[in-house]
Amino acid sequence: MRILIYGLNYSPELTGIGKYTGEMASWLAGRGHEVRVVTAPPYYPAWSIREDYRGSLYRTERHPNEPLVYRTPLYVPPKPTGVKRMVHLFSFMLGSLPVMLRQCFWNPDIVFTVEPTFFGAPVALLVAKATGAASWLHVQDYEIDAAFDLGLLPAHGPVHSIALGLEQLFTRAFTRVSSISHKMVERAYAKGVPPEKVVLFPNWVDIDSVHPQDSSTQNPFRRELGLEEKIILLYSGNMGAKQGLELLAPLAASFEKKPQVHFIFCGDGAFRPTLESLVADRPNVTLLPLQPLERLNDLLNAADIHLLPQRAGAADLVMPSKLTGMLSSGRPVIATADAGTQVARVVDGGTPEDSCGLVVPAEDPAALHAAVARLVEEGSLRARLGANARRYAVQHLGRQQVLEQFEEDVKRLIVSIG
């Protein structure tokens, strides 16, 4: 198959959407498919284009047995606000348009585009229509809903109505629409996409690379930081607006009188400078930069407990990709999420036999403190929840099984449009 992938984020970004799109493209190329990728230079989560990608507006990357990658210009605001984010997203659509139009001469079998950014949807549909290819929209993040619900853009008035109307129009025009959780799939139905067009395409984890280690006291991160005997709570991932990270500093402060408890906050993003200032004098907090992929398993296994904070209302707009690694590491998760959301369903599990952690209401510091205190004190509960988490990852999130199912879905779609 000739597969054209179109998306803002791609390898070598280490976290978030770029990681998954890059792994998917490489996996498909390894299966013998012809794969081309039109994307931007790596900039996430630091909101700064990587130094070795600066200075060239357009570039092409060719490597043996890998996709052919086209990089296009991108405006990246150092301090993203609502309006600047919109300009950022629009700049990718504008800069990538001529490269995408050239792909019409390649005649792809399918045009696969990733949201964010939805600004790319009309371009993907145009190329698919011009070539007779199938069109597939994969929603990692309902960015339009998130922009309004999280207050990045004003939630009332003509801009809101026009944006939602255009989103519905273009989404329904795709041959196939997918998203990464059942609740996000249901949101596609609510936007008017016929159920027969919609499939689940979850994020995955390499369960062989991310796996429980035998002894946390021998963990490299614990040794390097002198934390071998501590109970460690870890947040690792993007430090942005949707994560609800403002809860972390007061949470750490509330445990300062418990010397056996230590917090590690690892990652990068727009909120990191603020978080750094909030925890600057906290002796029970360690801040780490985003870690390379080869250290991911050691990092995740340094934790006794994983923290997954989210702002109220965000848990069904995005399904945090970091959750897959947390579960695969065999450690319990404390998530802040509203009841009934997909994050809450996965972490809570519905029964003690399936529970992977504890769920507390979003933006409730007292409930979060109580959940942490409980898991700090109950080592046997931590062990049981961690074992459940690993079992869930193995049964539902393995990379090979997820991508093989996706490949079959793509083949059937191409055959169906003849």
- Please determine, for residue 242, whether its predicted confidence score (pLDDT) is greater than 90: no
Query: What pLDDT score was predicted for residue 278?
Result: 94
Q: What number does CATH give the domain 216-396?
A: 3.40.50.2000
Q: Which tens digit of pLDDT belongs to each residue from 108-144?
A: 999 999 999 999 999 999 999 999 999 999 999 998 8
Q: pLDDT tier at 214 (50, 70, 90 boundaries)?
A: confident
Q: Which of 33, 245, 5 is nearest to 140 (CA)?
A: 5
Lowest mean pLDDT among 144-148, 172-176, 270-274, 345-349: 144-148
Burial of 66 (0-12, 13-18, 19+ CB in 10 A): middle
The mean per-residue pLDDT over the stretch 11-23 comes to: 94
Cβ distance 9 to 39 under 8 Å? yes
> Whole-angstrom distance between the N-terminal and C-terminal Cα of the chain?
13
Q: What number does CATH give the domain 2-204+398-417?
A: 3.40.50.2000
Cβ partners under 8 Å of residue 76, min gap 6: 43, 47, 48, 49, 88
Question: Average pLDDT of the chain?
Answer: 93
- Please determine, for residue 315, whether its predicted confidence score (pLDDT) is greater than 80: no
At 318 the three-state DSSP class reads strand
The mean per-residue pLDDT over the stretch 54-71 comes to: 94
- Report the distance separating Cα 27 and Cα 4, nearest Å: 14
Q: pLDDT tier at 162 (50, 70, 90 boundaries)?
A: confident
Main-chain dihedrals φ then ψ at residue 272, nearest 5 degrees: -60, -45
Query: What pLDDT score was predicted for residue 158?
Result: 82
The mean per-residue pLDDT over the stretch 291-319 comes to: 88
Q: pLDDT tier at 298 (50, 70, 90 boundaries)?
A: very high
Cβ distance 227 to 262 under 8 Å? yes
- Please determine, for residue 316, whether its predicted confidence score (pLDDT) is greater than 70: no
Q: Which DSSP string do the residues of 291-309 spell out, in sequence order?
A: PPGGGHHHHHHT-SEEEE-
Query: What pLDDT score was predicted for residue 157?
Result: 76
Return the percentage of the chain with pLDDT > 70, whole number.
97
Q: pLDDT tier at 259 (50, 70, 90 boundaries)?
A: very high
The mean per-residue pLDDT over the stretch 258-266 comes to: 97
Cβ distance 301 to 329 under 8 Å? yes
HSE value, Cβ hemisphere, 13 Å, CA-based, for 69: 23
Cβ distance 385 to 356 under 8 Å? yes
Query: What pLDDT score was predicted for residue 261?
Result: 98
The mean per-residue pLDDT over the stretch 74-82 comes to: 88
Name the segment(s) of the chain with CATH classification 3.40.50.2000.
2-204+398-417, 216-396
Residue carrying structure tokens 């949807």: 121
In DSSP terms, 60 is beta-bridged to: 70
The mean per-residue pLDDT over the stretch 169-194 comes to: 95
Cβ distance 262 to 230 under 8 Å? yes
The residue among 252 and 362 whose pLDDT is bigger is 252
